[in-house]
Structure 1
Amino acid sequence: MTGPSADASLVVDFLNTLDVDEDTDVLRQAATWRQWAAERRLAADTLHEARVAREALRAAVGDPDAEAKPLTVSVQIELAADAPALTAPGAVGAVLAAATRLAVLGEWDRVKICPADDCRWAFFDQSRNRSRTWCSMRVCGNRQKARSWRERN
C-alpha cells in the first residue's frame, strides 16, 4: 500500500479537526471551519452540521468519547466521464461521500482513533493485516508500553 487515498485523507483530516492533545477544535468558530473547507476547495456547511457529522463519524470509527447521533446529508450521484460519481455540494457531504467510498471499497475499518486518552487522533491504518493500534508507535504506543511495563514491574 502506497499511502492513504484522497478519500481517506479527507476523512482523517475532518476527524482531526478536533485535537485532544493540543485542546484545539477547528469547529469552535465558523471562521476556522470556513477556512478548513476553503483550503480543501469545499463549501462550508453550517457549523452545527459539521459538528454533528464529526461527532457521528468519530463514534463510527470507535472514539469512546463520541456519541453517535442520527445524521442525514444530501449527496448526489452524477454520471461523469462515463462513470457514476458520488458528489456533494458541501464539505460535510464531501466527507461523508468519501467515507462511503471507503466503506464500499472495504477500507472503512482502516480509519481508526488512537486509544490513548490524551490523544484520540484519527489515522488511516496502512498495515497489511489492519492491526495497527496507535496513531504513532514512537509517541502513544511507546508511552502505553512503558506504562504497562512499569505496572508489571
Structure 2
Amino acid sequence: MTDVDLVVDFLNTVDHDAHTDVLSDPDAWRRWLADRGLADGAADAGAVRTALRAAVGDPVDASAEPEDAAVPVTVELSAGGAPRLAAADVAGAVLAAASRLAVLGQWARVKICPADDCRWAFYDRSRNHSRTWCSMQVCGNREKARTWRSARR
C-alpha cells in the first residue's frame, strides 16, 4: 500500500454522506487494520484523523480546533538499506506516511471534497494540481448542475 493510499483511506474512515465512522465500530475498525497489516495503538486514532482532516482543509474538522497529534515514529536504518520511518501502530504509520508525502512535496495534493454532503478525501492527480471535486461524475456534476439551475432562474 502506498503512502497516498494509506493516508486517504485513513481520512475516509468517516463517511459523512452515509453517516458512518469505521472508528466507532470496533469490528469494522479491526477489519480495517487487518486489511492493511496495521496494529491499533495507544494513540487516539480519532484525534489523529481529525487533525489530519483539518490539515488538508476539511472545514468542519478545522473549525473544531483539533488537538495536536503526536505519536512515536522512529527512523530505522538497516545494513545496506536506506533510512525509513517506522511506527508500531496505525497512528504512527499514517503520520509517517503523511510526513513522507510532505517531504516529497505531495501533501498539498491530498484534499477534501468541498461538497457538504460528501467531504471525501482524495489525492489530486491532475497535472496542474487544480482538481476540486472527489469525482467530477458525482460531486462536480451536482455542483455544476446547481450552478446552471441557479443561473437559469
TM-score, normalised by the number of residues in structure 2? 0.92
Residue 73 (structure 2) aligned to one of 63, 72, 75: 75
Match of 1:26 in 2: 22
Match of 1:116 in 2: 115
Partners of 1:111 and 1:58 lie apart in 2 by 10
Match of 1:16 in 2: 12
1:127 paired to 2:143: no
TM-score, normalised by the number of residues in structure 1? 0.92
Match of 1:57 in 2: 52
Counterpart contact for 1:38–1:44, Cα < 8 Å: no
Structure 2 spans left out of the alignment, 5+ residues: none
Over aligned residues, Cα RMSD in angstroms?
A: 1.3
Deviation at residue 44 of structure 1 after TM alignment: 1.2
Count of residues in correspondence between the two structures: 148
Sequence identity percentage = 61
Partners of 1:69 and 1:110 lie apart in 2 by 23
Range that drifts further, 22-31 or 92-101: 22-31
Structure 1 spans left out of the alignment, 5+ residues: none
Structure 1 segments, 4+ long, off by >6 Å, are none
> For 1:22-54, what per-residue CA distance to the aligned partner results, in whole angstroms no more than 9, with x for missing partners?
1111011233222211110010125x7110000
